[in-house]
Amino acid sequence: MHCPKCGAPMHTYNRSGVQIEQCSGCRGIFLDYG
């Protein structure tokens, strides 16, 4: 997946059962719905 803001690749992390995607470029954080 690529960041909708800057287009850089996103990295996925799991924290306490929540999937977090962080941009490697602008460092933005996106959470999955739910």
| Residue 31 near residue 24, CB atoms below 8 Å | no
What pLDDT shows up at residue 17? Answer: 87
Question: For the segment 1-34, what is each residue's pLDDT rounded down to a tens digit?
Answer: 899 999 999 999 999 888 999 999 999 999 877 6
Whole-Å CA distances, 18 to 6, 7, 13:
23, 23, 8
Tell me the residue range of the domain where 4 lies.
1-34
pTM: 0.74
> Contact at 8 Å (CB) between 14 and 31?
no
Q: How many domains does the chain have?
A: 1
